[in-house]
Amino acid sequence: MEQESRKLLETDRLILRPWQDADRAPFAAIVGDPHVMRYYPNTRDRAGADAWVDKMMAGLDAGTSAFLAAERKSDGQLLGLIGTAHIDMNLRGNPREEIGWVLASRYWGQGYAPEGARAHIAAAWRRGLPELVAFTAAVNTPSQRVMEKLGMVRDTEGDFLHPRIAENHPLRPHVLYRIANPAHS
């Protein structure tokens, strides 16, 4: 995995960059918001948010993750995370990497998630990745709309019960979306 191409990306409005200690408090506010985290089994307290940041930092250092901090260029505000990471569970077709995002609710509906995701998709294609997948709770239609805006297609045969979510939990059923590298078609 090309380390440098995974450490900084820019779009018209965003800087996608490695995490900094200054991001911890604003990220904790984002993932502590029940509305933002309504499609996750729970919110994160400060310790849980810090652990998530630590995991993303370690993944970036190890080359297994590029879940980057999404910063707005115009004012330096942390919007949340956008990025890619190696997949550590069995999914249909054994895809290598996923793409995902979590943004503060005040930034929803402004095109930031697709804008940042497109930059990560382009970087994945430059690295020669044959495809990317995204997955979310079946009830999370807002994220599914973002996936479709990105040109991702739902793989209904790949829909699954998330192994890390308790049985009978309403968020356990997940949908799987895919996008193929056009150079590999």
User: Domains of the chain by range and CATH?
Assistant: 2-130 (3.40.630.30)
Per-residue pLDDT at 1: 37
**Mean pLDDT for all residues in the chain:** 95
Is the alpha carbon torsion for 46, 74, 35, 98 positive or negative? negative
- The pTM of this model reads 0.94
Under the banding of pLDDT at 50, 70 and 90, the label for residue 6 is: low
Q: What is the pLDDT of residues 154-168, one digit of tens each?
A: 999 999 999 999 999
Instruction: Give the residue-averaged pLDDT of 106-120.
Output: 98
Residue of 77, 50, 54 whose CA lies nearest to 65: 54
In the structure encoding, which two tokens stand for residue 78, read together?
A: 């942390």
Give me the helix-helix angle, 141-149 and 112-126, nearest 10°: 50
**How far lies 101's CA from each of 70, 125, 140, in Å?**
9, 18, 13
CA distances from 47 to 27, 36, 82 (A): 11, 18, 21
Instruction: Note the pLDDT tens digit of each residue in 72-91.
Output: 999 999 999 999 999 999 99
* Both tokens assigned to 149: 């805006």
Residue-wise pLDDT for 43-72, tens only, equals 999 999 999 999 999 999 999 999 999 999
